[in-house]
Structure 1
Amino acid sequence: MRERNGDSTFQPQSPPDPSRRELKAAVKCSGCELSISSTPFYGCTEKCFFFIHKSCAEMPRELDEVHIFHPIPTHHLTLLPRPPLNLPTFKCYACKKTRRGFTYHCPTCEVSLCVNCILLVPFDDYDDYRQILLPTHEHPFILCTKDKKFDISCIGCDHPIEEESLYLCPLCLLFYHESCADPPLQINHPFHSQHPLTLLYHPPPPDFEVFSFRCKACGLHGCGRSYNCTKCNFDIHVRCSQLVPTVKADLHKHPLCFLQSLL
């Protein structure tokens, strides 16, 4: 990103009027590739259709500190405004997504990280990570926070991670919701009061199958972990097990449970 007389060459835009809301929602940031939405942004005055979040435009040219996805003190990640090697796209080392926007790149290791993954950082200092050890994995999971939308799914429940915090294994690039990382091995749940439910890991299904189980709470399929009753062939997502008990209402013949969203 060029500068002129010490100032950014990006020109701030005035807030759009209501008639332009749909257009603005469709406009993507050239840095992180997320919607411009209602956040402050810059735009090119020459009608190049170049827009960038103010926060993306102000990102550092080089990371001075070691990043969790590239913990080599002698290697610095440098911000590139386009994919390296003059390619049209690059594959982010962390989220494995194909990107077209800005990248933090290490030329020595040929590692490229998208802006969204760069903004995923541990809660605590580098030497004092908040971490947990899980019996099913050989490496610790580190509690992290994120500032951008993180386009990745939890390996525990197979749902997108939308919360600000998550657990990460930086060596294996595995991600958990904070609530899914270390659930109890057995629970009693009002959705299935007949028997205790046991935490069960569903291995990846064969190529000809898409899912391993269907959650009896939300009705969606899954292929990660579930709470299971083998006697009744009952499965429920780990996250769905945290739903409040059902209520009986006159407006419907079946019990109802409260949902914030369809997960």
Structure 2
Amino acid sequence: MDHGVYYCSSCDFAAHLHCATSKEDRDETFVLKSKDEESIESSSSIIEHEDLGLDESIDSLAFVVKKIKLGVEGSEIMEEIKYFSHEHELKLTNKLGINKKCNACMRSIFPPFYNCAQCGFFLHKACVELPRKIRHPLHQHPLILLPTNSRFAACKTCCRPCIGFTYNCEKCKFDIDVQCSLIPDTITHPSHEHQLILSRSSDAKKCSCCDSDKGFKFCCADCEFTLDFECLTLPNTIKYEQHVHPFTLCYSPEDESDEYYCDICEKERDPKRWYYYCADCIFPAHPACILGIFLNAPCLNYLSELSIST
């Protein structure tokens, strides 16, 4: 982080100078309380955490190493592990061309990864190393990494149904999927020239891409530009049905014709809104038409495909 922040060493809470001092974006969750209120809340907080098992009972690591081998120059490689959510041990693999998805992030599997030979359970090495417990700036309680399994969960940031693993607060029914949890709180995006800062108090502001006023957003401190998580996590490139070429997400009109249509639904497009485009075929389309019923699918929420940087 290249900017000054206000920081609480007791709970690892940090806030940008703009966010901490702006009256408009003030988060009342963290406003200083009186000593009596703090004392009462501190006692109740301890009870709640004990009931939910959110503190010391949860290890920071999500796995236990079962077997180590020596790598290059004596480095240690975790060859076999026991993951917290799986009954069998997982082995490290570097095989290419595996047509499977990671059970945590739901992205296509790629090496290095861990897998279970008995039941086809796959995890990227990076997903295995995700911490079991985190604090996130969008929620006041610790969040615990959990598989969704049969429970329904919707990510509170991108509003898409969650499949795979989420960081969860059981008390508040709060879930954030793995990919959204990895997005930093300060980003740059190719659709805008300034840095964007994560805001907890931007519900009233409309997304500059889709005009929605729902959910958490990234806001520009220099102008009125605002971007919600659903638009932020649109794939940068995507395949559409039997179309031979991939489509690229575009942020400005492709020409100055003053006539903009979607070649899928054949309805007019708003030139101010983002769209997908195949330059080879001169084929523009609404994001909803390209993504169709998969518009809210978590498998589209790929951090590796997002055109963002810290």
TM-score by length of 2: 0.42
What is the TM-score with the length of structure 1 in the denominator?
0.48
